[in-house]
Every structure is written in structure tokens, then in C-alpha cells.
Amino acid sequence: MLKQRLQQKLLQKLSPQQIQVIKLLEIPTMLLEQRIKKELEENPILEEGEEVDEFSEQQDEEVTEDDISKNDDEFTLDDYLNDEDIPSYRLNSNNSSKDDKHEEIPFSVGVSFHEHLESQLGLRVLTEKQQELAKYIIGNIDEDGYLRRKLTAIADDIAFSMGIETNEDELEQLLYIIHDFDPAGVGARDLQECLLLQINAKDQTVPEVALARKILKYHFDEFTRKHYDKIASKLDLEDEQLKDAVDEILKLNPKPGGSFQDPMNQSIQHIIPDFILDLVDGEFQLSLNSRNVPELRISREYSEMIETYSHNKSNASRQDKDAMTFVKQKIDSARWFIDAIKQRQNTLMATMQALIEYQREFFKDGDETKLRPMILKDIAEKTGLDISTISRVANSKYIQTHFGIFPLKFFFSEGMQNDAGEEVSTKEIKKILQECVESENKRKPITDEKLMEVLQQKGYPIARRTVAKYREQLGIPVARLRKEL
């Protein structure tokens, strides 16, 4: 049985303006520029340029005209050109600025890695079928230069997609041809084969090269585990001989595909900082990097159109009313967008000011040991903003300082107490851990147990599993894999 009834509920909903502010807050400066350009294309009411008061503009124009008429009577250009005392710098113009936007024009004439391999294929004497099969194999080579698929699977694919009957042996013969291509090691099916292809391309009459080939071919497992004692014992080598052979192996490239670089293919990713922090006379000067973000204003032409319509509303046709409704909607949308941009800038500046104040000692010289433990909640309490807002500000944003560019997430870290009861950042502990590893004896690397003891002696009560976690976060391998000859 259906019944109708009234029920009151309290619901919290975000307005379109709030949603727009949240989305703009998340994006970095580079994407903000693109977002503004998109809005300028979609909304004809928006224009680039600062808002100008009409009354003051008219006054400026009148003053300018009076000044020009007065100056015409008193001075001429000859008065300046005939003045021999004018210094040369007054006659030079400098149209460059540190805020200028520098763009690289992309070229589409570069050669890709796979095109480079196919061009070498054309230098070999092959039948039409072999050419097609070899191209298919090259197409299955990844960007690192490896063929990670089984030849049997490739043979099946060729039969289904190209209708060409082939087998594993025929494909392997073509793969041997590809192994001779540049860069050396391309087309390998595993790391051992890749390194062997590269060492085979070297002069085998050199003792350390021949020894390196023997190690890679017959003692690869021991080499990967850095069991150098076992290799020296099996091959009856002196330490110096083994060291020379290992050094020769370390010169090889485990990812030959990454070594191919066409100067016409430049894909460099530049970091554009969102904040710029300068230290002038001991005082911090923070500014937003808005050099490529244009100022926005509402088109005066459309505003005048609305005013004209309001005066002649009684004589307006149906089409005029529809047009004015559209214009009003676009004006409201433009105002919301301009307000959202301003609110974004204010929120970013307030958050960054609080962060700098919290980490003042670090921003003076960039010493990581001076970083205070800081979480999102600390900045949220300092600014009065919500934690989610601080998280959006810190996401994908960078700050440029006098000692480098850092992501904002770098400054957030957990904390722990040392023996003196002081709160220290985990970044400080990681810094000490990294220094210990860098200064260790590489013949006898320090184990996690020893690292734990070193940190405890420095006043950091830390467990061995925590040392292992920090070591992994720093990208430092275990002691056995750090061993060198």
C-alpha cells in the first residue's frame, strides 16, 4: 500500500561555485593556465586584462592629452638627441624579463626507437616474408629494448593477424639478426642475454672483457647476488682481476632501449613552481608564480549591452529577451570563475605562509635536519581551513627557493621523540641513515642491525624493522647488494 508523507531532512550540498573553487584549488599553475584558456574560449564574456574604472580611465586620458599639448610646446625630440651627456644605457632598450615565458617549439621530424630499428632492417638482404616477420618482432620489443614475449606466442599472432605461416626456429633466426642492431643488447629476452650481447660486441682479446663474458655466461646467479668470493674461488682469480671484470660489466647498459636518443625528439618535462620564495635581508618574500596566468575581466561591451536592454526593455522583442538571458547567464558564470580564481590565490597564499612560518628554520638554509615534524592537521589548525583543503593545496604543487625546488608534500612528515624527549622529523632520521650508508666501507656494508645501533647511539630509539622501512623508502638496497670490491 502506497502512502504519501512529508519529511524534513538536513542535507549539506556543494554549490556549483564551491565545486569550481575545489577543482581549481587542486590543479597546479601549468594546468591553471590551460583551464583559463579553455574558459576564455567557451565564455565570450570573459576577457584578458585588469578591471579598469571608467571614471579614472577618462581622467587619465584627459590628463594625458593636456600633458602632451604642453610638452609639444616646450620639448622636441632634437632636445634629447643633441644632448651629448646622455649615458649610453639610457639609449638602450631591454625587453627581456625573468618573468618572460620561454617555450620550445616541438618538431615532428624525430625518429622513434622502433623506427630506428626498422631502418637498420632495410640494410639487410631479406625476403619479403622475412621483412614482414622481422618488423613484427621489432614491434613486440618494448621501450627498454627487451623482447618479453615467447616466440611461439608471436608465431601464433602472426598466423592469426597476418595469415603468414611461420615457426619458432624461423623467428629465432630473424631475432639473431636483430641482436646485431644498434644499440647493442636490443632484442634480448632477459638481462643475462642482454649483457652478453653487449659484452660480445667488445674486443674479446682484452683480458677483463673475456673474463667478464665468462662471469656473465657461467656465473650469472652468483654475480647478481654479489657472491664475489664464490666467483673468485671457482675461477681462481685475484681480487684485482675480479674487480676489473666486474667494472667492465658495470659499464654495460641493462636497458639498451633507453640509450637511444634522437636530438630531434626532446620530451623534457619542466617543473613550473607554483610559489616563489626569496630571502631578502633575512626576510622571506613569498609570491605566486602567475607569470603565464592572465588577469581576467568581464567584457565592457556585453555589460553595456545589458544596460541598453534594461533601458529599452518595453520595446524588446522575444529574440532580444532570449539573447539577454543568455548574456546574463554568461556574465554570472564569468563572475563566478573570476571569484573562484581569486579565492584560489588567497587560499594558496594563506596555506603557504603558514607552512613557511612552521618550517622557518628549514627555509633559511635548506638543512633537512631542521625540518620539524608536520602533518596536514598542523597547517589546518594554523590557517583555520579544513584538512581536505590543505591536502588539495599540497597536491602537485611546487615551491622555488634559493636552494632548490621542492614539492609541498616534501615538508609533511611524521615525528618521533628522541632520548631527550624532543619531537624530531622522520626526514631527519632518514638523512642520518643515508649519510651512514654513504660513508660505510663498501667491502663490508653496514647491516640494518648495525644501522639501528648507530641511530640509537645518536639518541633515536628506533627498531630494526623501522630502519628497514626507511631504507627501502630511500631506495637503498640491503647490505649484501651494496657490497663492492
Using CA atoms of 348, 352, 355, 360 in order, give the dihedral in degrees to the nearest 10.
-170
Q: Is residue 135 part of a domain?
A: yes
Q: With H, G, I as helix, E, B as strand and everything else as coil, classify residue 339.
A: helix
Task: Give the three-class secondary structure for 388.
Answer: helix
Is residue 1 included in any domain, yes or no?
Answer: no
What is the pTM for the complete model shown?
0.56
Distance of alpha carbon 265 from alpha carbon 106, whole angstroms = 8
Indicate the residue among 208, 226, 259 that finishes a domain: 259
Pair type for strands 415-417 and 423-425: antiparallel
User: Are 350 and 463 in the same domain?
Assistant: no
Domain final residue, candidates 394, 411, 428: 411
At residue 68, the pLDDT reads 41
Let me know whether 304 and 208 are in one domain: no
Residue 240 falls inside a structural domain = yes
CB 416 within 8 A of CB 430: no
Per-residue cell: 225: 647476488
- Cα dist from 152 to 148, 149, 166, 468, whole Å: 12, 8, 9, 42
For position 51, what pLDDT does the model report?
62
- Angle at CA 319, nearest 5°, toward 315 and 325? 95
Judge whether 79 lies within some domain. no
* Domain-embedded: residue 91: no
Same domain, 367 and 288: yes
Q: Looking at the structure, do residues 289 and 339 belong to the same domain, yes or no?
A: yes
Are 207 and 239 found together in one domain? yes
Whether residues 434 and 321 fall in one domain: no
Indicate whether 236 and 283 sit together in one domain: no
**Domain range enclosing 368:** 275-411
User: Looking at the domain assignment, is residue 302 inside a domain?
Assistant: yes
Give the pLDDT of residue 52.
55
Q: Are residues 362 and 436 in the same domain?
A: no
At residue 421, the pLDDT reads 64
421 and 472 housed in the same domain: yes
Residues 427 and 368: beta-carbon distance below 8 Å: yes
326 in the same domain as 196: no
Count of domains for the chain: 3
* Residue 28 forms part of a structural domain: no
With cell 616534501, the residue in question is 410
Residue 126 CA to residue 182 CA, distance in Å, equals 18
Number of CB atoms found within 10 A of residue 90's CB = 9
pLDDT of residue 208: 93
Alpha helices in 122-219 (DSSP H): 128-139, 151-161, 168-178, 191-200, 207-218
CATH of the domain at 439: 1.10.10.60
- Residue 98 in any domain: the answer is no
Query: Residue 411 corresponds to which amino acid?
Result: F
Q: How far apart are CA 155 and CA 169, in angstroms?
A: 10
Same domain, 194 and 140: yes
Residue that terminates a domain, selected from 395, 411, 427: 411
Q: Is the peptide bond before 207 cis (omega within 30 degrees of 0)?
A: no
The answer on 407 and 281 residing in a single domain is yes
485 residues of the chain, pLDDT tens digit each: 677 888 887 776 667 777 777 888 888 887 888 888 888 888 888 887 766 554 444 444 444 444 444 444 554 545 444 545 555 545 554 555 555 555 544 545 567 888 889 999 888 889 999 999 999 999 999 999 999 999 999 999 999 988 899 999 999 999 999 999 998 999 999 999 999 999 999 999 999 999 999 999 999 999 988 888 899 899 998 888 999 999 999 999 999 987 766 555 555 567 788 899 988 888 888 988 877 677 888 888 877 777 776 767 666 677 777 877 888 888 888 888 888 888 888 999 999 999 999 988 888 888 877 888 888 888 999 999 888 888 888 888 899 998 888 998 888 877 776 666 666 777 778 888 888 888 888 888 888 888 888 888 888 788 888 888 888 888 888 887 787 76
